[in-house]
Structure 1
Amino acid sequence: MATRRALHFVFKVGNRTETANFFRQILGMKFLRHEEFEEGCKASCNGPYDGKWSKSMVGYGPEDSHFVIELTYNYGIGSYKLGNDLMGITIHSPVVVENIKKHNYPCNENNGVLTVTSPDGYPFNIVNESASGDPVKKVTLASSELQRSVDFWTKLCGMKKYSETEKSAVLGYAEDQCKLELQDIGTHVDHATAFGRVAFSCPRAELAGIQEGMKSAGQTILTPLVSLDTPGKATVEVVIPADPDGHEICFVGDEAFRELSQVDPKADQLLDEGIAADKSDEWFAKKGKSKASA
């Protein structure tokens, strides 16, 4: 469906300083927005936590035309347990390859593809090719039963199938957008506590229909259609189902999201100010403790 767009993938992070350095220095991305919240998100954007948290959007360009990363940080939580659900985000960029070499950043090479992991352990697969358009080319998620996953994403989410093998399938909404790759791992998909979320936009008028379609098919609705407020910015409507393997999917009304997602030139400054004002590491150190592991 040409009216739908791939938007971003959500990661939970435990150390914003190390994370910011990784995305800036290694992946060469720019921070696009940063927001601080005093209490948990109604749609559990930051996970099942009620306390103070922050959200930072980072990518290679505006969310109107690029697939970006959403970094959520819960104050007081230092780490999250990784599952086998996310198999990687693929980026085409010779510049990132150079950054990896310049900073001597740990990586693994397989068939010419370099895999690096963020400070929280999330994998990024770097292809040494110049990108046409957005360098972020695909998000690869694990599937326990490939055909069931393909049926869900094509029939209920309206995606087009671009290619398929016995163990994997590449889907998407348009040729020039970031694709979704599903890989059959032949076992249960475990999301642990680090579980992420992939987001797509659609016309606001389609949200209720997506929800009803999921319900009619007996699929899980994690968050029924709800309005989310961001202080001083646009209010967006979202519905959040899960696929058969429990991958969280956020569909958001496109019209309001385009307004909300405008690049904030102060994003870097706001993130750095948030990091500087966060005294939780010092507090835990004084108490002889470490931050909780989720």
Structure 2
Amino acid sequence: MALRRALHFVFKVGDRSKTATFYRDVLGMKILRHEEFEEGCKATCNGPYDGKWSKTMVGFGPEDDHFVAELTYNYGVGEYRLGNDFLGLTLQSSQAVSNAKRLGWPLTEVGEALYLVEAPGGYRFYLVDKEQPHNDPVQKVCLAVSDLQKSTHYWSSLLGMKVMERNEEKKTVLMGFTDTQLPDLEALMTKENYKILTPLVSLDTPGKATVEVVILADPDGHEICFVGDEAFRQLSQMDPSGNALLDKAMAEDKSDEWFAKHNKQKASA
């Protein structure tokens, strides 16, 4: 049985050009793969849209052993309203801090050797100003919940995460994944009467592996997508042409010209 782990966090983005600059030039991530789709995903991977969209995976290393960001871009959608659920992603990289300072990207010191920087659209990233480790520098993702006890039960007892740290004063819980098979997970959620947004379904990617996914919603409506291990390992192989494919798509999109003309910045949420 494969060990379950957190793979991605999805960000819907409007301005692909500024977003690419942030992840590549400020954070120092690599474009791992880029895919263009002519119609909406049947598992609503791109949200409630049915038009052309793209998916770009960015991270510090291969998806096999790194937590990465999935950047979803819907053509024709320039702005998303930022919610209050995502509180921030923390990573350790003094190089990212230096990059932000060199590029003049707004940077706020919020603690000892800790800086806050925002991606286009307002997504928050916390940079630990220490040498970037050889393994994955991404340390944690923070989500807001309305009932900590209920959410902890859901994520630990039902999803199988392990409680690694609990802080009663700050009302926070830090958790990491263990393992469970997808059909068993779906059956458990059905039994416990929790919402299943997308029952077990197979998703095709042209020229690549077909993966099985189940998409759930936690008590606060956070979407959690679980994917089968074996096919995902095939699908998630790093594509050397990913960087060029993204640049080509952005050049052909010409959305930068529209936003420059209208003096408007795209946002994401």
Q: 1:16 to 1:98 in 2, by over 3 A?
A: same
- 2:78 is paired with a residue whose SS is strand
Q: 1:26 to 1:284 in 2, by over 3 A?
A: closer
Partner of 1:256: 231
1:164 Cα shift? 0.4
Partner of 2:156: 154
**1:59-78 correspondence runs (5 A):** 59-78=59-78
Q: Is the 8 A contact 1:35 1:55 kept in 2?
A: yes
For these two proteins, the number of residue pairs brought into alignment is 264
Q: One-letter code of the match for 1:48? A: P
Q: One-letter code of the match for 2:124? A: P
Q: Is the 8 A contact 2:101 2:107 kept in 1?
A: no
Partner of 2:176: 172
1:269 aligns with 2:252: no
- Mapped to 1, the partners of 2:163 and 2:2 lie a distance apart of 14
Partner of 2:47: 47
Same amino acid, percent of matched pairs: 60
Q: One-letter code of the match for 2:127? A: I
Structure 1 vs Structure 2 CA RMSD: 2.2
Partner of 1:208: 183
- Mapped to 2, the partners of 1:136 and 1:212 lie a distance apart of 32
Q: One-letter code of the match for 1:172? A: G
- 1:162 is paired with a residue whose SS is strand
Q: 1:50 to 1:293 in 2, by over 3 A?
A: farther
1:165 Cα shift? 1.2
Instruction: Give the TM-score of the pair, scaled to structure 2.
Output: 0.92
- Mapped to 2, the partners of 1:293 and 1:19 lie a distance apart of 10
Partner of 1:116: 117
1:218 Cα shift? 1.2
- Mapped to 2, the partners of 1:285 and 1:100 lie a distance apart of 23
Q: One-letter code of the match for 1:124? A: F
- 1:143 is paired with a residue whose SS is coil
Unaligned runs of 5+ in 1: 175-201
Partner of 1:234: 209
User: Relative to structure 2, which stretch is displaced further, 5-14 or 123-132?
Assistant: 123-132
Q: Is the 8 A contact 1:243 1:249 kept in 2?
A: yes
Unaligned runs of 5+ in 2: none
